[in-house]
Amino acid sequence: MITTDFAPGSPCWIDLGSPDVRAAAAFYGAVLGWDYESMGEGEDMEGGMFRKDGKVVAGLGKLTEEGARSAWMIYFNVSDADETTRAVERAGGTVRVATRDLDEWGRMAQFNDPLGGQFAVWQPGTTKGMELADEPGSLSWTELYTSDAAAAKEFYGGVFGWRFSDTELPGGGGTYTLITPSGLPEERMHGGLMEMPAENLALAGGRPYWHPVFAVGDCDAAVAKVTENGGSVQMGPADAEGVGRLAVCLDPANADFVVLAPAGG
């Protein structure tokens, strides 16, 4: 379970790079009930923060990287971003954005895993990260789709000290690996990874990719909002035994995310 106690190696922040900040703000406002708070003024909004019930849940920025796709970036809490950079490089990953300070708020860096999956880290200063998690309209899980689960476990285990446990999906759907931060009990699982053929990773050109799972009160209602507001559905809505009802969605710029109404919620 994702919390806001910011244990090392746990998700602490997410932000979206979008080619149209205003359209993205309107879309997620309709789907997840988020309020958008711009950090700029006028029509040319470059970015800002999403809030749910007054609490910060995510960031939004203008997509400026040449050839990059619109996507959510997941940040994991670390105590030392520079040491994490060295661990990433020792394990075969590469640096996308070198460690840098964001004023007094904290220190960040972005990386590629050895197969090209993108992720980021956050060393907190005055800002620890998101203010709401595991509640409707906030981050409740993180997920990696990869072409090589064994390589992913070796890499991320080496960088973050994560522990992994495999479970077989019903109906021969393959193996799903659950992720728990180092030193925490299994109740604090924060995500999963799943191996699939490179041809099924077309969103990222065959490379692995992370995406966020957002808790919602009603999956079908959320999916209706997705399609009504220019998004699309890749899979679902479908019931997952013991997990809840979920759907894999794309926003209007094809950034992927999941909406999940948890079982028993």
Say if CB 93 and CB 26 are below 8 A apart: no
Give the pLDDT confidence score for residue 265 in this predicted structure: 62
Domain ranges of the chain: 11-124, 139-262
pLDDT in tens for each of the 265 residues of the chain? 899 999 999 999 999 999 999 999 999 999 999 999 987 655 445 789 999 999 999 999 998 888 889 999 999 999 999 999 999 999 999 999 999 999 999 999 999 999 999 999 999 999 999 999 999 999 999 999 999 999 999 999 999 999 999 998 877 778 999 999 999 999 999 999 999 998 999 999 999 999 999 999 999 999 999 999 999 999 989 998 888 999 999 999 999 999 999 987 6
| CATH 3.10.180.10 for domain 139-262 | yes
Q: DSSP letter string over 140-198?
A: EEEEEEES-HHHHHHHHHHHH--EEEEEEPGGG--EEEEEE-TT--GGG--EEEEE--G
Instruction: Classify residue 131 by its DSSP letter.
Output: S
Asked whether the domain spanning 139-262 has the same topology as the one spanning 11-124, the reply is yes
Residue 112 CB contacts under 8 Å (≥ 6 apart), including other chains: 93, 94, 95, 96, 118
Give the pLDDT confidence score for residue 67 in this predicted structure: 82
Instruction: Tell the residue number behind the tokens 């019931």, with chain if given.
Output: 239
Give the pLDDT confidence score for residue 1 in this predicted structure: 85
Sign, Cα dihedral of 217, 177, 79, 102: negative
Q: DSSP letter string over 2-42?
A: --SS--TTSEEEEEEEES-HHHHHHHHHHHH--EEEESS-S
SS3 205: coil
Strands 55-62 and 11-18: parallel
Give the pLDDT confidence score for residue 45 in this predicted structure: 57
Residue 12 CB contacts under 8 Å (≥ 6 apart), including other chains: 6, 75, 76, 77, 122, 124, 128, 129, 130
Instruction: Tell the residue number behind the tokens 């003024």, with chain if given.
Output: 41
Token pair for residue 1? 């379970």
Token pair for residue 165? 């446990």
CATH code linked to domain 11-124: 3.10.180.10
Give the pLDDT confidence score for residue 235 in this predicted structure: 93
Report CA-CA distances (Å) from 6 to 54, 131, 137, 156.
20, 10, 19, 18
Token pair for residue 143? 């997920």
Give the pLDDT confidence score for residue 42 in this predicted structure: 53
